[in-house]
Amino acid sequence: MRVLVIGSGGREHALVWKIAQSKLVDKIFCAPGNAGIFQQAECLDIKADDIGRLLDFARKEKIDLTVVGPEAPLSNGIVDEFFHYGLRIFGPSQLAAQLEASKVFSKQLMAKYKVPTADFRVFTDAVEAKKYIEQVGAPCVVKADGLAAGKGVVVAKTADEAKAAVTSMMQEKIFGDAGNKIIVEECLSGEEASILVLTDSREVIALASAQDHKRVNDLDQGPNTGGMGAYSPAPVVTKELLKNILETIVYRTIDGLAKEGIDYRGVLYAGVMITKDGPKTLEFNVRFGDPETQAILPRLKSDLVEVMAAVAEQKLNRIRTLDWDSRACVCVVCAAGGYPGDYAKDKEISGLDVAGAMQDVVVFHAGTKLENKKIVTSGGRVLGVTGRGSTIKEAINTTYQAVDKINFEGMHYRLDIGKRAIS
Q: Do residues 211 and 236 lie in contact, with contact meaning Cβ atoms separated by under 8 Å?
A: yes
Q: How much is the pLDDT for 102?
A: 95
pTM: 0.94
User: In DSSP terms, which residues pair with 216 in a beta bridge?
Assistant: none
Per-residue pLDDT of the chain (423 residues; tens, 9 = 90+): 999 999 999 999 999 999 999 999 999 999 999 999 999 999 999 999 999 999 999 999 999 999 999 999 999 999 999 999 999 999 999 999 999 999 999 999 999 999 999 999 999 999 999 999 999 999 999 999 998 876 788 999 999 999 999 999 999 999 999 999 999 999 999 988 999 999 999 999 999 999 999 999 999 999 888 899 999 999 999 999 999 999 999 999 999 999 999 999 999 999 999 999 999 999 999 999 999 999 999 999 999 999 999 999 999 999 989 999 999 999 999 999 999 999 999 999 999 999 999 999 999 999 999 999 999 999 999 999 999 999 999 999 999 999 999 999 999 999 999 998 987
Q: How much is the pLDDT for 375?
A: 97
Q: Do residues 291 and 11 lie in contact, with contact meaning Cβ atoms separated by under 8 Å?
A: yes
Q: Is 204 helix (H, G, I), strand (E, B) or coil?
A: strand
Q: CA gyration radius for the chain?
A: 20
Q: Beginning with the edge strand found earlier in the chain, give each strand of the sheet holding 229-232 in spatial order.
A: 211-212, 229-232, 328-335, 381-389, 361-365
Q: How much is the pLDDT for 189?
A: 93
Residue 163 CA to residue 169 CA, distance in Å, equals 10
Residue 81: which H helix or E strand, with range?
Answer: helix 78-84
Residue 210 CA to residue 422 CA, distance in Å, equals 14
Peptide bond into 32 cis (omega under 30): yes
Q: Which long-range CB contacts under 8 A does 233-237 form with residues at least 24 apart?
A: 233/208, 233/209, 233/328, 234/193, 234/194, 234/209, 234/210, 234/421, 235/392, 235/421, 236/191, 236/193, 236/211, 236/274, 237/193, 237/195, 237/209
Q: How much is the pLDDT for 121?
A: 96
- Classify residue 74 as exposed, middle or buried by CB count within 10 Å of its CB (0-12, 13-18, 19+): buried
